[in-house]
Copies of this chain bind each other. A is one copy, B any other.
């Protein structure tokens, strides 16, 4: 296949999201070396932009050289030592992944579960924390991409802050679309992705560590099992020493730099409002068309809507036609939700009325012909 043959899509799935022309243009700027003073300055700008997006003053804030799951792994592998107890609160695919990764690192995992599509009851999570006072970390997903649920964190964060346990939060789908408030929520390790509400292609994964987390890392008794993701080594490159660790994905950093400049220009609050408006418009349109919203009322993400299809509709072929005939990508269900629901993202550059209307018009066409 030739690259020039690529048919562009309107990306309304769970990510990647549509990338603006200005960010694609940034990607194509001339490659610099990873120790070039110009590049190091760009990396410092990116760290500042990420602090704004995360809502934190943490010094140790940077993009991991990988995609969201690499940062999930980085967030766990730096703080966990074999034999540690880790509480994982799970109500979807990404909570399950946090548990699986923790086990592979040798942690004893205490699982607190909720039904997919529902939030984790903060009291149940806090009970688990009280029952395991020596737990090294409590890991939870803020924006569960597999179900569209937004988890309330304030009570949990306050409870964890009063202990020696570290709060690890997945904000992959949240960042840039809904508040993360790392400092406000007392989050110790928070990771994200570029390819959702930041509107940047996949390939980097923002992460931030609180001082409490860095203290824990400095007092490890065995080295971090991953050399590539070891934040104590990365600190040598990101700090004033500028010591070579690994070669950063230079051009991807350009794209993130541009994405963060655009976020700063728009303003966080205005961006959250834009995502909220588009999400509301979509949800109303889907309900009008016989879809059933899957996520618990009052805890629905604006940027990622999960919706069960009308009774009797075979979603796979329709989703394929939406892609092939209308050039629109939406996501299917994962795990237990496979074949039952669509996951529709209105993220970053894609969060606008026009995209909602284009999707709903295509759905009308398709469902008309599916019924006929």
A interface vs B, CB < 8 Å?
1, 3, 6-9, 11, 13, 15-16, 18-19, 24-34, 36, 38, 41-42, 45, 65-70, 72-73, 97, 100-101, 104-105, 193, 195, 201-203, 223-228, 244-252, 254-255, 257-258, 323, 329, 334
Q: Using known A-B contacts A16-B247, A248-B202, A252-B252, determine if residue A45 contacts B104 with beta carbons closer than 8 Å.
A: no
Which of B25, B245, B250, B329 is A33 in contact with, Cβ under 8 Å?
A: B329
Shortest 10 CB-CB contacts between residues of A and residues of B = A203-B249, A8-B30, A69-B246, A28-B28, A24-B28, A201-B251, A202-B247, A66-B66, A19-B31, A101-B227
Nearest B residue (CB) for A5: B38
Query: Copy number of this protein in the oligomer?
Result: 2
* Residues of chain B with a CB closer than 8 A to A38's CB: 1, 6-7
Which of B41, B201, B250, B329 is A202 in contact with, Cβ under 8 Å?
A: B250
Interface pair B24/A225, CB less than 8 Å apart = no
- Write the nearest CB–CB distance from A54 to chain B, whole angstroms: 20
- Write the nearest CB–CB distance from A199 to chain B, whole angstroms: 10
Nearest B residue (CB) for A199: B31
Q: Using known A-B contacts A13-B33, A329-B33, determine if residue A3 contacts B247 with beta carbons closer than 8 Å.
A: no
Q: Using known A-B contacts A42-B1, A203-B249, determine if residue A30 contacts B16 with beta carbons closer than 8 Å.
A: no
- Return 22 A-B CB contacts under 8 Å, by A number: A1-B45, A3-B257, A11-B32, A16-B33, A16-B247, A18-B31, A67-B247, A68-B247, A69-B245, A69-B246, A70-B70, A70-B246, A72-B228, A73-B226, A73-B227, A97-B227, A100-B227, A104-B223, A104-B225, A104-B226, A193-B247, A202-B248
